[in-house]
């Protein structure tokens, strides 16, 4: 069986538990005969990040979004100074790149799974309301020691392995020059 390529979306790991989680995830994927691909891990862009992400995703068979804390707000407001104003406390967000890359993977019809740190703010494409599953878990090196978590990830990997190869059009070429201005 040929290796399937899987795009991994993750923010730069800033803590040891985040680094250990990614290391464990990569090991699990390789054990499942998957080849992980990611910007700044296996691919180092010289051009625009969106162009690189698009090119890599067009070469992949699936995508994993790894969402862990990047930003923390002790307190704040949502919809501030409106009738729907809501006070927020202890809010944790992931990198916005998770949203961008999830949208790109979905647009390419790639099988998608979201691995989300417990307690992160769920919004946008990082909510349960879509066509993919969200695995809420602790972001630590031993997150995959839990047989239920490992089993769900392995089942997703089997689904990707059994899926027919996708014939994706090559990533569109982007013009680097600016379009002519339209002066009146």
* Structure confidence by residue, pLDDT tens digits, 76-114: 999 999 999 999 999 999 999 999 999 999 999 999 999
pLDDT band at 183 (very low <50, low <70, confident <90, very high): very low
Stated pTM of the model:
0.84
Of residues 129, 124, 122, 78, the one with CA closest to residue 99: 124
Half-sphere exposure of 149 (CA within 13 A, CB side): 20
Reduced to 3 states (helix: H, G, I; strand: E, B; else coil), residue 24 is helix
Residue ranges per structural domain of the chain: 4-162
Of residues 80, 103, 101, the one with CA closest to residue 37: 101
CATH topology of domain 4-162: Rossmann fold (3.40.50)
Q: Which residues contact 44 (CB under 8 A, 6 or more apart)?
A: none
Reduced to 3 states (helix: H, G, I; strand: E, B; else coil), residue 63 is strand
pLDDT top residue among 139 and 128: 139
């Amino acid at each position: 069986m040929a290796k399937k390529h899987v795009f991994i979306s993750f923010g730069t790991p800033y803590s040891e538990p985040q680094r250990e989680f990614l290391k464990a995830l990569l090991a699990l994927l390789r054990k499942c005969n998957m080849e992980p691909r990611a910007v700044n891990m296996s691919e180092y862009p010289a051009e625009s990040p969106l162009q690189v992400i698009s090119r890599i995703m067009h070469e992949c068979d699936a995508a994993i979004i790894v969402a862990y804390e990047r930003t923390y707000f002790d307190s704040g407001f949502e919809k501030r100074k409106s009738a729907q104003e809501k006070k927020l406390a202890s809010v944790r967000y992931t990198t916005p790149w998770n949203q961008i890359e999830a949208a790109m993977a979905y647009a390419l019809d790639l099988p998608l799974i979201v691995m989300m740190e417990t307690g992160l703010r769920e919004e946008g494409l990082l909510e349960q309301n879509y066509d993919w599953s969200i695995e809420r878990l602790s972001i630590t090196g031993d997150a995959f020691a839990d047989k239920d978590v490992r089993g769900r990830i392995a089942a997703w990997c089997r689904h990707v392995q059994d899926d027919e190869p996708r014939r994706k059009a090559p990533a569109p070429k982007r013009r680097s020059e600016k379009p002519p201005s339209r002066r009146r």
